[in-house]
Structure 1
Amino acid sequence: MPVDSRRLQGPESAFSYTLLKKKDANAEESVLSADLQKMLIGSNQVRKDKRKPTDARPLFLRTGIISQAKGSAYIEQGNTKLVCGVYGPREVQKKSDFRLNGQLFCEFKFAPFSCQKRRSHQQDNEELVLSGLLREALEAAVCLHHFPKAQVEVNIMVIENDGSPLAAALTCASLALASASIPMYDLVIGTAVRQLPKLLLLDPTKEEEWQPKLNHDENNSNLTVGFMPSMQQICAYVHEGVSNPEELEQMLKLVTEYCLKVQPVVQLCLKETIEKMLANEGENKDAE
């Protein structure tokens, strides 16, 4: 039987010592359900990072990060940092994949060092699910009929994950596609909100995000939305947890209002990119 020579091999009957630890699941769950809101937000209604519940983290955007890509973008949303590269349109190689409309290929990947627990170099189930959600959201915004029998590749790499990576990826990928001159109906702005009993936290961090193993209360959930501001349409909707319709309506109102505020920032970044491109073209013509 082949053996992995890179690891120290223990006896087959060995098991982790953590399995012998006593776990008081009821006590842990009761503490989280009763004191979770106090742990995340103090009595002065201020979060651990000095934000109010409806305040988002500082946002930084930049294009032209990857020189070999047709379009690229970088985003910092607090300590959540992502980079996106767009390649194509390229002709589809397999005849069986030919379609009248173009195709989007999206890959969402966490860098091995991006999380507290080291990630694998190969895509796991979570990354495959996020890749599918990203593709479905962008397909609603990209004019696929403009490049038939071709595909566009969108690669997202999470450099550091401190919460709401899918929301940041939607904004970053939309900006990268626009910088690559891919025709789009509208930009996609992503954002997330965490619901606690009688409280909403906009743009949650990793610590504030909903955890399925620990939270089972009603009105305790996490919502991620991709919104097209000019068209007033939602192209991505991911809800985890339990919410009643009234609370869910408030969550949607909060995230859409935030997306409308972020839209001018993304447009300004795209405008600066185009101005630099035109200035470089003018300098090249003068040099000739």
Structure 2
Amino acid sequence: MSAKPGAADAGVLVLAATPIGRATDAPPRLAQELADATVIAAEDTRRLRRLCADLEVTPSGRVVSYFEGNETTRIPGLLDALTTGGRVVLVTDAGMPSVSDPGYRLVTAAIAAGVRVTSVPGPSAVLTALAVSGLPVDRFCFEGFLPRKAGERARRLAGLAGEERTMVFFEAPHRTPAALAALAEAFGGDRPAAVCRELTKTHEEVRRGRLADLVTWAQPGVRGGVPLVGAGAEPGSTADTDPASLRAAVAELEEAGRTRKEAIAETARRSGLPKRVVYDAVHR
């Protein structure tokens, strides 16, 4: 089990995974680490208190807040605790610290100071959503939260249109309908995807289907934390995506009797690119 400060393995930063739903999903080591820590750095100290109550743990060390807004100012004090032989346990609201949560800056600072960094492995919303999505898991990438502004979000997704790996995104409930619509616009409405809502909680729901269908399903609103999982592009579907090739593809379809609008839509579908990218290529 974890060692007390001053033991041979003291001076350690521990990234501790916390439940993404039920408290009973907590890894067995978590309770002991929370009990033994010299310092617990928590994204939300109120959530930490609830978690400790659920795990029947009374921390013996100091508890400090550590969230996105105070990361920079907290790091010197935490480094001081680490370099003087302390055991600092970092927990976020749910899942593994550093994965779309605070932690990366502290980890890099600890490594630079020669401090050992380890983890208490456990729940991960990324891997849980990927596993239950029903989409290919042999190759995947995690893209975190999409930009809030529509233009920035569209540009990010345009750059991912040709990605052949399964993609996992995080999204806030109130932005999920807009995010799904943007995914459908960028990847095409026929692209398979899954919306994973309230994972491991009482009202867990996994919706699988075409992006176009998921857009319709989400219109009334979505509740609860939402990882989104999207299938990758078909291999070779984006082979000719330079502007000249796109213009040529649209022209060929027009010669075959399609309207300009239809030709652009069809070229976008075939290439895996957003329609606006094809439109811009044609009208330059």
Question: Which structure has the larger Rg?
Answer: 2
Identify, as 1 or 2, the structure richer in strand. 1
How does the TM-score come out when normalised to structure 1? Answer: 0.23
Identify, as 1 or 2, the structure richer in helix. 2
